[in-house]
């Protein structure tokens, strides 16, 4: 099957076959990353613009590195250095970037739906690097990629996503990817941050940590933000930790082979105990490494590359 | 002023319970029961075979943006859009720039209306100074200057005590208080209905409870003070129920529904199209059906458009950053006919009543009748004609309509204001 999609806007719009193709392509790229010469010439001569209108470290670095590993030229713009701080509209900024002959644009934006909006304006591929509380498709793809490396097929696997789900784009992209891959997903957290509306997305919602963690094979923690507490969504970080923080005792409820994930940045001592974050069940840093391979796959495929052309080099 | 003889129409006049084939006569700007033979001879004859002749439509909720935001709409362009939609009377909201919180601004509006409007346009004034919800505006002076109601429009008065004093004070002048029901503390940053769709799209939700709370507050204050409170653009099922019970107790509460809230749901937001962004937001199908049931049993009194023009460049933004509001005047009749008559089997005269006599009576305005002696304000429409609506070639200065590009059924052919044909055959005919 050939790859036909030019934009990557959401995981929701991807078919299971497309997710598998991205994962397979990422696998091939991952093998190139351990060589002494890490670059492949796939996107030589192409220019990719990273338009990050919201702060980001990890995602931006990973996109940057992924593009460079593919031999593309990369230009990064953030909210302060771009003209949006002078009142330029997103449409104008994006059209200017296209007029500068960029071949692809990677966008991080605080407003949900902005990548879709850009994709309607521009002729070049648009890659969503996180839009508001909507989606963060490459994160959902790299998380499920990481899970598959550890568990094999995700069909029927018990996955728990724990934390601030309501405001999380990472949660939404993972929900879409995991349900397509056949996993049994349970969302856990305070009722104010995990409303029942989510059940319409094909997942379970629970506020009882013990029963939710029982036998889970993956637990994915999400960052708890101070702003949510200020907005009155839960009483205090201390109470959050006492009710929902992952500690050693609670981790013992998990399946013995379970992996612990976090998209970062982590709040040690809030949503996760420090020793668990650094423990042998934690795959947090693997997620970061896999983020490069998955983003290479996405950049490669959306710029017209085909999965079968990626030659695995041993 | 021409004498008019509208021939062979289906004449619908809800005030007179008339729905029959017949003619309508106009002389000297008024409806007359008949014309003399001499008058008939020189009358301008309009063949209305296959058309409905009804009172000119009345919309008590429009934003004409003048003064101050005339890049979006003016009283002149807004009144042309109204005429094209069959409306002969509209009531403007006071959220202009500056806001209409003093007699001087009302006088300015009246001057512009006198100069530029081609239909009847009435101003409203603010409830509070600067529409800030802090201190009462000079409501008596506003009344004397000619407002037909007071409202803080989208900036719903949050203080229950101030709202109580406002309705109590306005009652002295028999001035209705219109309220956009929204508890601001529950809708910070909200851009669409809170529910399954907002959860999926990652957009901040505006819970219907925020409307229901203020609807209940207003019901309580209307009953406590005996004042008339008009609830604008009701969107929630729960609110419909609150209003229904209040009316059973005899509260002086009236309420409106918009064509968009009875036609569309929050599912329409799936592509983040800002032409579906308005306040209150589109809600669920359950809510939509409750609004229709409310119109059917009289819980909701009228249809009003909340015609809210914004330019392309203002609407062409990330969803979170685009302003609320859509056009309504040029599509209100076909959309309402489609939802109420075709889909929900309402009787046509009943729907005409919702858009003519009832809103006129609520705001104590002339119009909404074909009775002899009344102002000859009339709408002639073809209920079956299919036509392509393109907001870009419409008469509003803006084009932010969710129906642009669609085929609509039911088309206004002729609009008459005070005996003058102001819109005919797709063209504005007023100078």
Per-residue pLDDT tens for B45-61? 999 999 999 999 999 99
Q: Which residue has the tokens 């076909």?
A: B334
Residues in A touching B199 (Cβ below 8 Å): 166, 195, 197-198, 200-201
Tokens found for residue B365 = 């305005």
Can you say whether residue B97 is alpha, beta or left, with left for phi > 0 and alpha for psi between -120 and 50 degrees?
beta
- Tens digits of per-residue pLDDT, B113-155? 999 999 999 999 999 999 999 999 999 999 999 999 999 999 9
B179 included as an active-site residue = no
pLDDT of A80 reads 67
Angle at B418 between CA B417 and CA B423, to 5 degrees: 25
Note whether B4 and B26 are within 8 A (CB).
yes
Which residue among B199, B271, B318 sits closest to A197, beta carbon to beta carbon? B199
Residue B283: how many other CB atoms lie within 10 Å: 26
Instruction: Name the band, by pLDDT with cuts 50, 70 and 90, for residue A230.
Output: confident
Query: How many residue contacts between A and B have a Cβ separation below 8 Å?
Result: 59
d(CA A137, CA A288): 15
On whether any CB of chain A is under 8 Å from the CB of B319, the answer is yes
* Burial readout B351-371 (b: 16 or more C-beta within 10 A, e: otherwise): bbbbbbbbbbbbbebebbbbe
Note whether B398 and B72 are within 8 A (CB).
yes
Chosen for mutation from A7, A91, A111 (greatest number of chain B CBs closer than 10 Å) is A111
pLDDT of A227 reads 77
CA distance, residue A238 to nearest chain B CA (Å): 25
Domains within chain B, CATH numbers bracketed: 4-52+374-385+405-428 (2.30.40.10), 57-362 (3.20.20.140)
Look at residue A312 and tell me whether its pLDDT is greater than 70.
no
- Tens digits of per-residue pLDDT, B346-362? 999 999 999 999 999 99
- Tens digits of per-residue pLDDT, B266-286? 999 999 999 999 999 999 999
Note whether A74 and A48 are within 8 A (CB).
yes
Torsion of CA B263, B267, B271, B277, to 10 degrees: 50
| Lowest mean pLDDT across A58-62, A180-184, B23-27, B228-232 | A58-62
pTM assigned to the model: 0.95
Q: Which residue has the tokens 């017209």?
A: A304
On whether any CB of chain A is under 8 Å from the CB of B185, the answer is no
Look at residue A199 and tell me whether its pLDDT is greater than 70.
yes
Tokens found for residue B37 = 């033979």
């Amino acid at each position: 099957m050939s790859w036909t999609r030019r934009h990557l806007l959401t995981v929701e719009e991807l078919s299971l076959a497309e997710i598998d193709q991205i994962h397979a392509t990422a696998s091939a790229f991952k093998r190139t990353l351990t060589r002494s010469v890490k670059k492949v010439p796939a996107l030589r001569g192409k220019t990719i613009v990273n338009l990050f209108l919201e702060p980001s470290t990890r995602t931006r670095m990973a996109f940057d590195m992924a593009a460079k590993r593919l031999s593309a030229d990369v230009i990064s713009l953030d909210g302060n250095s771009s003209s949006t701080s002078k009142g330029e509209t997103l449409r104008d900024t994006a059209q200017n970037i296209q007029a500068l002959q960029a071949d692809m644009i990677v966008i991080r934006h605080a407003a949900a739906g902005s990548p879709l909006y850009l994709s309607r304006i521009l002729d070049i591929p648009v890659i969503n690097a996180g839009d508001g509380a909507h989606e963060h498709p490459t994160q959902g793809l790299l998380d499920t990629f990481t899970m598959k490396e550890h568990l094999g097929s995700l069909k029927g696997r018990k996955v728990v996503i724990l934390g601030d789900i309501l405001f999380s784009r990472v949660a939404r992209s993972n929900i879409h990817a995991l349900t397509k891959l056949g996993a049994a997903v349970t969302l856990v957290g305070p009722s104010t941050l995990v409303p029942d509306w989510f059940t319409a997305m094909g997942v379970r919602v629970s506020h009882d940590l013990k029963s939710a963690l029982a036998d889970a094979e993956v637990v994915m923690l999400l960052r708890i933000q101070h702003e949510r507490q200020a907005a009155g969504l839960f009483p205090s970080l201390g109470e959050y930790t006492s009710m929902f923080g992952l500690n050693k005792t609670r981790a013992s409820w998990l399946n013995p082979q379970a992996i612990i994930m976090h998209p970062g940045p982590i709040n040690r001592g809030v949503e996760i105990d420090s020793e668990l974050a650094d423990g042998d069940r934690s795959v947090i840093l693997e997620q970061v490494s896999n983020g490069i391979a998955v983003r290479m796959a996405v950049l490669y495929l959306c710029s017209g590359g085909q999965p079968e052309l990626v030659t695995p080099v041993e | 002023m021409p004498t008019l003889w509208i021939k062979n129409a289906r004449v619908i006049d809800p005030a007179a319970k008339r729905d029959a084939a017949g003619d309508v006569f106009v002389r000297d700007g008024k409806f007359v029961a008949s014309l003399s033979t001499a008058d008939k001879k020189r009358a301008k004859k309009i063949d209305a075979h296959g058309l409905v002749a009804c009172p000119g439509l009345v919309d008590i909720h429009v934003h004409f943006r003048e003064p101050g935001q005339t890049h979006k709409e003016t009283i002149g362009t807004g009144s042309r859009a109204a005429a094209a939609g069959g409306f002969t009377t509209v009531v403007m909201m006071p959220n202009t720039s500056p806001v209409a919180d003093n007699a001087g601004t009302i006088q300015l509006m009246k001057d512009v209306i006198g100069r530029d409007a081609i239909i009847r346009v009435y101003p409203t004034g603010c409830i509070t100074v600067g529409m800030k919800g802090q201190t009462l505006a000079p409501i008596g002076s506003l009344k004397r200057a000619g407002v037909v109601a007071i409202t803080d429009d989208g900036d719903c008065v949050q203080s229950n005590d101030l709202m109580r004093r406002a309705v109590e004070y306005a009652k002295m002048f028999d001035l209705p208080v219109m309220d956009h029901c929204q508890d601001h503390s529950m809708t910070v940053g909200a851009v669409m209905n809170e529910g399954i769709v907002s959860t999926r799209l990652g957009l901040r939700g505006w819970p219907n409870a925020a409307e229901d709370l203020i609807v209940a507050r207003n019901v309580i204050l209307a009953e406590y003070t005996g004042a008339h409170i008009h609830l604008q653009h009701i969107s929630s099922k729960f609110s419909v129920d609150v209003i229904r019970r209040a009316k059973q107790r005899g509260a002086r509460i009236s309420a409106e529904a918009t064509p968009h809230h009875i036609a569309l749901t929050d599912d329409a937001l799936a592509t983040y199209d800002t032409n579906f962004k308005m306040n209150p937001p589109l809600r669920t199908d359950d809510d939509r059906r409750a609004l229709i049931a409310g119109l059917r049993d009289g819980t909701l009194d009228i249809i009003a458009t909340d015609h809210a023009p914004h330019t392309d460049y203002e609407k062409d933004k990330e969803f979170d950053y685009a302003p609320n509001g859509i056009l309504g005047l040029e599509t209100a009749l076909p959309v309402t006919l489609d939802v109420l008559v075709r889909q929900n089997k309402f009787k046509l005269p009943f729907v005409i009543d919702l858009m003519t006599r009832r809103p006129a009576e609520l705001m104590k305005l002339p119009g909404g009748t074909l009775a002899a002696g009344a102002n000859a304000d009339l709408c002639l429409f073809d209920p079956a004609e299919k036509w392509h609506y393109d907001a870009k070639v419409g008469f509003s200065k803006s084009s932010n309509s969710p129906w642009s590009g669609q085929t609509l059924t039911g088309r206004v052919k002729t609009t008459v204001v005070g005996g003058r044909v102001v819109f005919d055959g797709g063209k504005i005919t007023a100078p």
